A and B are shown apart, each in its own frame.
Chain A
């Protein structure tokens, strides 16, 4: 199935945004404004809900005219694109979003046509599926690990590097004992929070020419 690559699911959703001349600011602008103030770190909504590797939200204003001799045409609706690379099956993932971050979902999708709210789990899932597009080709560099497994592995990688650096020329019995302690400590250690693995930055950079 093109939406899946291994155990990773590629979710693509286009939700039509409400076109209302009387709304000020317009609904698409209200979405953009809300998203601009949303954290992308460990307090991101997607960090609080389970199973998101990477996700993006994009307001697509229109299709792009590439120039003559192609025909110029325009969309009648603006669309909110939700692109997510997530664990497991779709229903479980969407249900996890609806139960973990209903307020954020409502704050964004209330500007979209026909959105039923996240309080009704099944209605939310049905709505998202009605807006879903089938992926034609999906590539995942690592396609058999969950978010938790990856966070744990990254934590392990750093600990192992430190261990090796500090255990050169150590006698065999000490090495064995401390290695066993390392394994036990890593198993007991809590996972790093999703989205948290870097220092806070006040300034976000962006732009296509960077």
Chain B
């Protein structure tokens, strides 16, 4: 079991919902997906690499025959998978502090959801509905989401200057190089092993 690989933590959570409520949640996600400004807080939580919510209707758990018993459930289920940088406590604290309204909007349809504030009760709930990861892989274990974003900015700037460099005089190049350094200087953080969380 390992919820952590390098600088990324894998969270899995599953919560039951009354079936009639899932349609409300689907509508909320539809709006969230199509009105980009509503995603601003999620984007600003820049330690999330990938996250997804999956609504599984009670009759839609995969059924393949071959002796498998068909599920007979009362609830639909909301699955949540997140890949984030930092520790579990930091993540839940940040979620609670920055996204409390958004979280409540998503999880208030789940049974017994206590609200994301106060955070103590919220953490108890998440701990109860979370289950552990058996295998976790990342292609770039020692880079955070911000490292990846920064690296692409550096790559893009380098490509631009690289194309122009040969055609410049040394003096022109020196000016262009200075502008390049100004563009990338805030994006040169060193990647490496994550600090040990206490």
Chain A interface (Cβ within 8 Å of chain B)? 2, 8, 10, 12, 14-16, 19, 31-32, 35-36, 38, 40-41, 44, 46-47, 52-61, 63-64, 66-67, 70-71, 73, 75-77, 79, 81, 83, 85, 113-114, 130-142, 145, 147, 149-154, 156-158, 160-161, 164, 171-173, 175-176, 179-180, 183, 186, 194-195, 197-199, 201, 204-210
Contact = CB atoms under 8 A, between A and B. Distances in A.
A196 B14 CA distance: 31
Nearest to B177: A175
Contacts of B95: none
18 contacts: A8-B50, A41-B141, A52-B139, A59-B134, A60-B14, A66-B15, A76-B71, A113-B68, A139-B51, A141-B145, A147-B139, A150-B148, A172-B173, A179-B162, A194-B140, A197-B143, A209-B89, A210-B87
Contacts of A63: 14, 16, 73, 75, 77
A132 to B, nearest CB: 8
Interface of B: 1-6, 8-10, 12, 14-16, 25-26, 29, 32-33, 39, 42-43, 46, 48-56, 60-75, 77, 79, 81, 83, 87-89, 110-112, 125, 127-143, 145, 147-152, 154-155, 158, 161-162, 165-166, 168, 170-171, 173-174, 177, 181, 184-185, 187-188, 190-193, 197
A117 to B, nearest CB: 14
In the complex, which of the residues B4, B49, B136 has the most CB atoms of chain A within 10 Å of its own CB atom? Answer: B136
